[in-house]
Copies of this chain bind each other. A is one copy, B any other.
Amino acid sequence: MLICSSRDEMKRREAALRFIAALLNQEGRSSLYDLSGLAGGFPVKKSDLNLLETYSGPAIFSSNLQKEGTQHLGGEKVAAFNRTSAAILATLLALVKPGEEVIHYLPELPSHPSIPRSVKLQGASYREFDNLQDFQLTDETSLVIITGSTMDHKVLPLTDFNRIIQISHAKQIPVMVDDASGARIRTVIYDQPRALDMGADLVVTSTDKLMDGPRAGLMAGNSSLIDRIQDKAHQFGLEAQPPIVAGIVRALENFKPQRILDSLERRDKLHKIAGNVFKGVEKTPTGFMISAANLENEITPEGNDNLTKRELATLMAMVLLREHHMVTIPAVGMPGVSDTIRLDISSKDAERVDDNQIIQALKESLEVVREIIPDEEASLSVLYE
């Protein structure tokens, strides 16, 4: 056993960050390729810097946030939160009372834990569905949440979207769409309408997903609902602070849907080449991925008794980082993070690395993992040193 606890996972993350820090200090930012799809970014201008104070910041950036935010998401008003999870917590505190019920509809069960967790904190009850047959509201339902696309980028069909909104509104229940990545994946890649244009009352998106903004939540929708949610956010310290708001504004200004579309052709090509080299490579909306199970088959086709598939995938991600300076989620994610190796071709850094480099990095890392797994000491050092 190489990874025994979430404490070990934290140690692995810290080792990855230490490696990145040393690399950045020695060779600069251009030596690193963050293909996680969650690099985030902070594209404020140097001239913005001395304006990012508690009062000057909102003075300058609030009206731009309204303009850029409503242009991106639609709706009457927007508000920015420290994270999408914080936006969801604020929404539940504002719109749901203890004892009421929240219904969650998503492309595939189960939900990201942040939603049921916040519902529970507010003392409300929670049910989740992924098909229209089972979906049912009760007299206690006070909020319906729809997830537009999952963490694995599975997208909700348009018919489900429309039907859920219709059923909920027939009972005067507000609908919030958790469109963390969906606000771009659904609209840019799948050509679906924006959540608010389909009649949802609220939508929230993560400004670090498929765009180069900071990790933060941007919510839009009905003005009086936004006011109530923002009020709760201020009470508990959930709102985005001025520097983050400025980062969101600049990222929205820079956002080019065309860059995502341009990456699709390259993705298809890379997916095909990678598929010739490894079995079980799967296409994603913005790149390709190898699940831990498929990776295990590839690394030890004869099976192995010693290491779990999560351990193998984590080793692979750490080797990709150490040997090829490529950042993927299993290396840098928090404990409990997905163990799928996902390469995001729409990410900014993907422009600086060519197809051959990516395929070679995967091939060579696979070889290195095969070589080190019999050597526990070497494996531990790759994970934690």
Contact = CB atoms under 8 A, between A and B. Distances in A.
Interface of A: 16-18, 20-21, 24-25, 29, 32, 34, 36, 38-42, 44, 46, 49-60, 62-63, 81-89, 93, 113-114, 117-118, 121-123, 208, 214-217, 234-239, 241-244, 247, 327, 332, 334
Contacts of A82: 82, 86, 237-239, 241
Given A82-B241, A214-B243, A241-B215, A235 B113 contact: yes
Given A39-B54, A46-B49, A55-B332, 12 more contacts: A24-B56, A34-B56, A38-B55, A40-B54, A42-B57, A52-B214, A54-B208, A55-B327, A87-B237, A114-B235, A114-B236, A237-B238
Interface of A is mostly: helix
B215 A54 contact: yes
A87 B236 CA distance: 9
A235 B50 CA distance: 32
Contacts of A86: 82, 236-238
A60 B59 CA distance: 30
B55 A36 contact: yes
Given A39-B53, A40-B242, A237 B81 contact: yes
Contacts of A247: 243
A44 to B, nearest CB: 7
Q: Count identical subunits in the complex.
A: 2
Nearest to A122: B121
B214 A241 contact: yes
Q: Which of A24, A54, A86, A114 has the most CB of B within 10 A?
A: A54
Nearest to A64: B21
Contacts of A243: 42, 214, 243-244, 247
Contact of A56 (B20, B55, B121): B20
Contacts of A34: 53, 55-56
Nearest to A41: B53
A139 B18 CA distance: 44
Please indicate which of the listed interface residues A55, A86, A118, A327 has the most CB atoms of chain B within 10 Å of its own CB.
A55
A21 B60 contact: yes
Nearest to A235: B117
Contacts of A53: 34, 39-42
8 contacts: A16-B55, A29-B50, A39-B53, A40-B54, A89-B236, A114-B235, A114-B236, A243-B243
Given A236-B86, A237-B85, A24 B59 contact: yes
A332 B53 CA distance: 13
Nearest to A335: B231
A145 to B, nearest CB: 16
Contacts of A81: 237
A229 to B, nearest CB: 14
A49 B46 CA distance: 8
B42 A83 contact: no
A252 B16 CA distance: 25
Contact of A55 (B39, B63, B84, B241): B39
Contact of A241 (B18, B242, B244): B244
A20 B237 contact: no
A115 to B, nearest CB: 11
